[in-house]
Amino acid sequence: MQDDAAQADPFELLTTWLDAATKAEINDPNAMTLCTCTAQGRPSARMVLLKGIDPAGAAARGVVFYTNLASRKAAQLRDNPVAALLLHWKSLRRQIRLEGTVTAASSAEADAYFASRHRQSRLGAWASDQSRPLDRRETLERRLAEAEQRFAGDDVPRPPEWGGFRVVPDHFEFWQDMPYRLHDRTVFTRRGAGWETGKLYP
């Protein structure tokens, strides 16, 4: 990454890299690892999909993902509302790390995104008790069929236990692979209303 690029707003750079990944990655260029911790500090990681980047001027600018609010990750975020995210694009030899505080996305945001999902995915949200024990696959398939029957011919509304979270970063790291492992690492750290930029040794 050129030094002049390091002076950009980190959200603009995130958007630029994500746009490039969308053209290069075959599957889910918006996939990111979400790391959370329990109140006791025990970490847990899983993949989620980045579904929103707040525009400039937003009150609490961050990135948004959605999930079942009764899931393990959601419980950990309520108990300890901080998180780390990692986007990695092997085809581009790039990755972005974000760290920050977590708040709930609004009901309006969750409703709008849920309505944009494929109908089968919306039905699946009603059928699945995410992260809780499942006795057999057939149980999930039966519950899906019940949801299909329940909403036959109707719109599928957002379940009350389904919503979103916003990670508001106070730290970014943009990593670019370079020859001989002399990688380029540019960091952005929040300082008041702005960002302080710097470099890290590879």
Asked if residues 165 and 67 have their Cβ atoms less than 8 Å apart, the reply is yes
* β pairing state of 82-89 and 94-104: antiparallel
* Angstrom distance (rounded) from CA 173 to CA 199: 9
Residues 6+ apart with CB under 8 A from 126: 143, 147, 150, 151, 156, 159
CB-based contacts of 5, cutoff 8 Å, min separation 6: 13, 186
For residues 195 and 171, is the Cβ–Cβ distance under 8 A? Answer: no
- Identify the burial level of 76 via C-beta atoms within 10 angstroms of its C-beta, where 0-12 means exposed, 13-18 middle and 19 or more buried: buried
* Chain centroid to CA 120: 21
Q: Single out the catalytic residue among 181, 185, 190, 191.
A: 181
Q: Rounded to whole angstroms, how far apart are CA atoms 75 and 132?
A: 12
Side chain identity at 84, as an amino acid letter? A
Three-state DSSP at 20 gives helix
Based on the residue annotation, tell me whether 181 is a catalytic residue of this protein: yes
Catalytic positions, written as ranges:
181
